[in-house]
Structure 1
Amino acid sequence: MSKAEQFAKKRKVRLVIRTVVLFLLLGAVIFAIVSKDTEKVLAVGDKAPDFELVDLEGNIHKLSEYEGEGVFLNFWGSWCPPCKEEMPFMENQSKEFEDKGVHILAINIKDTRLKAETFRDQYGLTFPIAQDKDESVRRAYNVIPLPTTILINKDGVIEDIITTGLDEEEIRQAMESIQPE
């Protein structure tokens, strides 16, 4: 085989590879556009999707069972610095608002049970901590950054979506905003 024939053969192979890569990229772009259109993004005013998760003590928490009360739904991970900062504030406010009809439900993302229990014990947390092992609740709520807090009113409607860490005063104000009258 001459050098010209070898060059022509290599050129054909490159052309085939480039064509395949182009079609794969085109398919990925189309998939991203189509899947984005079908994904419902939650917003303030939407009914909060119901879910059922088990906490670290083995208790089942179903969001719909909190109807008539406010829910401070917090998604967190032990590796998240803002999550670590806000947890003691959440603990303080949970004690303040529990008798006022506002409950904290913390949902751990991506930690092992042992890691979540160690974190709970290290911070002395007493509010329920559930684990979203398959991340179905995280996906239903479109949670990307951690921490994310969803404030849900007594009617099960989303009042606010907060995608940053909170200080104690902000947590108190958030809990007041969903306190049943």
Structure 2
Amino acid sequence: MSFVKNKKNKKRRRFIFRITILLVLLAAVLFALISNFQKDKSVYGVGDKAPDFQLKQISKNNDTETIRLSDLQGKGVMLNFWATYCKPCEAEMPYMEKLYPKYKEKGVEIVAVSLDASELVIHRFIDKYDLTFPVVHDTKNQVMDLYKVGPIPSTFFIDQNGVIVEKVDGALTLDRLEGYLQQIQPK
């Protein structure tokens, strides 16, 4: 009888040990999942301070000027994420170019963040549309990731204090664009 009892005790201890291991593994998996979901997934939106960044500007004369968002403090900033292969992006570029001179004089800067892989493609696009506003190249999608940009075009309108006033996913019409530029015009 004691042999059967010993065997049952061993089975019971093995079962408890296995359940304990299983619970520890389950707790570790849950911890990993929860930690992953709580990582910095901040989505910057209306009312948030726009995160600073620095990117190289694409220019016609191949200067290596950089643009830092914090250097534009005191101005309204339209931060537009786009790519040459994006037809809605292409459609709104002439509107941006048309309004740029008028709003630049009023203290508003347009910064177009290209997500393209090649500078050559960006240069051709700038030449095709004769763009005069700053175009910067986000070569590693760092700024895109920082701003948690999904679909393109995506545009952030930032006031003179560096606060996001509006975020627009999708292409803008001329009228809508002008309305947003008026909102971020320094007082």
| TM-score of the aligned structures, taking structure 2 as reference length | 0.78
- Cα deviation, 1:115-155, whole Å, max 9, x if unaligned, reads 00101111111101000001110001000110000000000
In 2 relative to 1, CA 31–170 (structure 1 residues): closer, same or farther, beyond 3 Å?
Answer: farther
Percent identity, aligned pairs only, is 36
Aligned residue in 2 for 1:109 = 115
RMSD of equivalent CA atoms: 1.8
Matches within 5 A, 1:84-103: 84-103=90-109
Paired residues, number: 156
CA distance in 1, matches of 2:119, 2:33: 33
Unaligned runs of 5+ in 1: 1-22
Query: Is residue 154–residue 169 contact of structure 2 (8 Å, CA) maintained in 1?
Result: yes
Q: Which runs of 4+ in 1 moved over 2 A?
A: 29-37
In 2 relative to 1, CA 56–35 (structure 1 residues): closer, same or farther, beyond 3 Å?
Answer: same
Using the TM superposition, give the Cα deviation of residue 110 of structure 1 relative to its aligned residue in structure 2, in angstroms. 2.7
CA distance in 1, matches of 2:101, 2:81: 19
Amino acid at match of 1:53: L
User: Which of 170, 179, 183 lines up with 1:177 in the alignment?
Assistant: 183
Unaligned runs of 5+ in 2: 1-24
- The answer to whether structure 1 residue 152 and structure 2 residue 135 are counterparts is no
Partner of 1:55, secondary structure, is strand
Aligned residue in 2 for 1:35 = 36
CA distance in 2, matches of 1:140, 1:95: 29
Aligned residue in 2 for 1:14 = none
Amino acid at match of 2:90: K
| TM-score of the aligned structures, taking structure 1 as reference length | 0.81
Amino acid at match of 2:148: N
Aligned residue in 2 for 1:50 = 52
Using the TM superposition, give the Cα deviation of residue 178 of structure 1 relative to its aligned residue in structure 2, in angstroms. 0.2
- Cα deviation, 1:53-77, whole Å, max 9, x if unaligned, reads 1111222100001111100000000
Aligned residue in 2 for 1:131 = 137
CA distance in 2, matches of 1:135, 1:165: 20
CA distance in 2, matches of 1:30, 1:109: 35
Using the TM superposition, give the Cα deviation of residue 96 of structure 1 relative to its aligned residue in structure 2, in angstroms. 1.2
Aligned residue in 2 for 1:79 = 85
Query: Is residue 78–residue 111 contact of structure 1 (8 Å, CA) maintained in 2?
Result: no
Partner of 2:102, secondary structure, is helix
Moved more, 34-43 or 55-64: 34-43
Query: Is residue 116–residue 122 contact of structure 2 (8 Å, CA) maintained in 1?
Result: no
Amino acid at match of 1:41: V
Partner of 2:38, secondary structure, is helix
